[in-house]
Amino acid sequence: MRTASITRTTKETDITLELSLDGGQVQVSTGIGFFDHMLTALAFYAGWGMKLTVKGDLQVDGHHTVEDTGIVLGQALKEALGEKKGIRRFGSAFVPMDEALCFTALDFSNRPYLVFDANMPQPMIGDYDSCLTLEFMRALAYNAGLTLHQKCHYGVNAHHITEGLYKSLGLAIKDAVKVEGSGVVSTKGVL
């Protein structure tokens, strides 16, 4: 089974995550309703099983909760993939969400990089700062060893844009982590 369990406690957050890349129940509790919705969608479209509990300093704001969740999820992805033997490695997906069209392309290259091109027309989505989507994606990419490109081609609603980005991320990850062979997909022989 491709799984990982991580607990991370700092002065700002306390996070417990159980991740299975091959499916299972999804339970998410971060204290930020919209973020729970996005992480549940991400897990669903990636085909994961995920149990995630986050207690963060929400009396400050959501930044530490969202960024630290990205760190832990990235670490869990890296651990669950191990040496990445047999995985497709690359994935991409478009997701239309009403008026918004979002795209994700990624590579489990072990060379972390993020290109993020998505303007958020509204600053808040419920209790979620829309600028935190960038922080989550950066933390995820750098801790998973993931080259990640995301773009919103157009859209006027930050909820739709953000949801399109999370769902396209899930679909692209699902494609990239499919096991198709036994070796590492790299001309170097290692990632």
Residues 128-180 have pLDDT tens digits of 999 999 999 999 999 999 999 999 999 999 999 999 999 999 999 999 999 99
User: Does residue 184 sit within a domain?
Assistant: no
What whole-number distance in Å separates Cα of residue 148 and Cα of residue 138? 9
**Domain of 31: which CATH number?**
3.30.230.40
Q: What is the mean pLDDT of the chain?
A: 96
Residue 158 lies in a domain: yes
pLDDT per position as a tens digit, 49-74: 999 999 999 999 999 999 999 999 99
Single pTM value for the model: 0.95
State how many domains the chain has. Answer: 1
Q: Is the pLDDT of residue 23 over 90?
A: yes
The position carrying tokens 């808040």 is 124
* Separation of alpha carbons 31 and 82, rounded Å: 30
- Percent share of the chain, pLDDT over 70: 96
Q: In this structure, is residue 28 part of a structural domain?
A: yes
In a domain, 64, yes or no: yes
Q: What are the tens digits of pLDDT across the range 36-50?
A: 999 999 999 999 999
Question: Going along 22-139, which residue ranges are E strands?
Answer: 26-29, 49-56, 90-97, 100-107, 113-117, 124-125, 128-129
With 90 as the cut, is the pLDDT of residue 182 above it?
no
96-106 per-position pLDDT tens digit: 999 999 999 99
Query: What integer pLDDT is reported at residue 190 of this predicted model?
Result: 66
CA distance 151 to 148: 10
Residue 14 lies in a domain: yes
Token pair, residue 153, equals: 């081609």
Closest CA to 113 of 145, 84, 150: 145
Residue 189: pLDDT band by 50, 70, 90 thresholds? low
Contact 44, 38 (CB under 8 A): no
Give me the domain span that covers residue 118.
3-176
Decide if 188 is inside a domain.
no
Cβ atoms 118, 107 nearer than 8 A? no
Q: How far is CA 103 from CA 10, 46, 92, 159, 160, in A?
A: 33, 15, 7, 15, 13
191 in any annotated domain: no
Q: For residue 10, which phi and psi values (nearest 5 degrees)? A: -130, -175
In a domain, 183, yes or no: no
